[in-house]
Chains A and B, each alone.
Chain A
């Protein structure tokens, strides 16, 4: 079972209708439908991307801004449904929710820990076991009963990171999250990701820092304007990418 495929993307394409933003109101919709002005400015964020990740491998996604990295991660996480093609995931996913998007700002940190745990699919009893660990890792012991709206962005992301990395998920999605927090905490996060990788967790990692990507990943998907430019061994591709 060692080399099982854990994530498989087959000819994934994702289309956005830019015009769908334009009518928010019913009136506009009716008028435009009647006039047949519903124009479709199609935008393909991903076009025919295929790759697969085996168990224990770590995949880095690189590419310029707007090349479709985040869209790709979202289709893997199940947030977006690809317009064409198919993504199959074999295992449970822990998304590293950037800057605590899963937090309710009015709740205290303690309550948010349980809410977020539930979002990731943990039961309350499991969360109670992990609670001490989360508090210790985020170094927020004195602030656990403060509403999160009073937290600094660094504190929020520390808490979010601590929650997302509990347990040993099969797949951990890290989307440019390491660029927040002070440098000491960044190191702590990188350490933890390394440790999870050693335990067999597959890491899907997006970053603009080639150094970080190289230190964590052994496979790379290079996207350019939604197309798969290259897929393969990390070091080779990094070399070509750095030169281009």
Chain B
């Protein structure tokens, strides 16, 4: 175990360089640069708010905020897992030539998505201020569901990265999957409009739990129930354990399939 930690410390500078690279490349040659991480969710929020408050008329207080908070969580999951998925394949030339702990590539993608998450979280705070929504002390605790999503995404990302090396189909399949998943997460709609049967499916989705906790803490001034907290924690642990297991089991064969 101490060997693993030592190895991680040795390559920790590499992690920061990889994250810096991801972010630099993403915004290179764009005039507004990193500002886009803030503008992007805001623009999406405006469009979705206009569409849904005129067409569907959901009964939600402060709908822009509702949509934006949903997007913060869901987009992070989507971004981090999608980019983790291709992280091993796109580093093929490196993996073939130099010894580097391979999980670093996945971890770096999740960390750079996390930096984007911080930007979109700032956007959320700005909208809260702009719409004169009440800021409660419980907002500080929103770190907990955020960390849970990060852990959960890392676990899923590890699994996807390892499997994608063997089966490239997953790349194509996953974008379809996440589109479906978005409708199974209450990003746009309130839980109250769902019929009982569908509600059960939506509740099984771990992201729903994190999102509800996040919204309750940010906007509702309510603490999550102990059971939803524990379920969330268990799901994070399960995703991480499974992710690490699948990844370690397969990582020595990556090079043969790249």
Q: Which A positions have Cβ atoms within 8 angstroms of B?
A: 16-17, 20, 24-27, 29, 77-81, 93, 95, 97-98, 101-102, 104, 106-107, 111, 114-115, 117-124
Contact = CB atoms under 8 A, between A and B. Distances in A.
A118 B17 contact: yes
A104 B25 contact: yes
A79 B95 contact: yes
B83 to A, nearest CB: 15
Given A20-B257, A101-B94, A107-B25, A115 B17 contact: yes
Contacts of A119: 14, 94, 98, 100
B167 interface: yes
List 10 A-B pairs, minimum CB-CB distance, nearest first: A78-B99, A118-B14, A118-B17, A101-B97, A26-B167, A118-B13, A101-B93, A81-B252, A115-B17, A26-B169
Contacts, number: 77
Interface in B93-117: 93-100
Given A25-B169, A101-B94, A124 B13 contact: yes
A16 B256 contact: yes
B95 A121 contact: no
Contacts of A16: 256
A111 B21 contact: yes
Interface of B: 10-11, 13-14, 16-18, 20-21, 24-25, 28, 93-100, 166-170, 252, 255-257
Contact of B21 (A80, A98, A115, A117): A115
A106 B25 contact: yes
A77 B98 contact: yes
Contacts of A114: 17
B168 A24 contact: yes
Contacts of A79: 95-99, 255
Contacts of A101: 93-94, 96-98
Contacts of A20: 256-257
A114 B19 CA distance: 12
Nearest to A89: B99
Contacts of B170: 26
Given A78-B99, A95-B99, A101-B94, 11 more contacts: A24-B168, A25-B168, A29-B166, A77-B98, A79-B96, A98-B97, A101-B98, A111-B24, A118-B16, A118-B17, A119-B14
Which of A81, A97, A104, A124 has the most chain B CB atoms inside 10 A of its CB?
A: A104
B16 to A, nearest CB: 8
B167 A123 contact: no
B167 A29 contact: yes
A120 B14 CA distance: 9
A106 B24 CA distance: 9
A214 B97 CA distance: 25
A104 B21 contact: yes
A80 B168 contact: no
A221 to B, nearest CB: 20
A58 to B, nearest CB: 21
A78 B255 CA distance: 11
11 contacts: A16-B256, A17-B256, A78-B99, A79-B97, A81-B252, A101-B93, A102-B97, A102-B98, A119-B14, A119-B98, A121-B13
A40 to B, nearest CB: 13
A45 to B, nearest CB: 11
B97 A80 contact: no
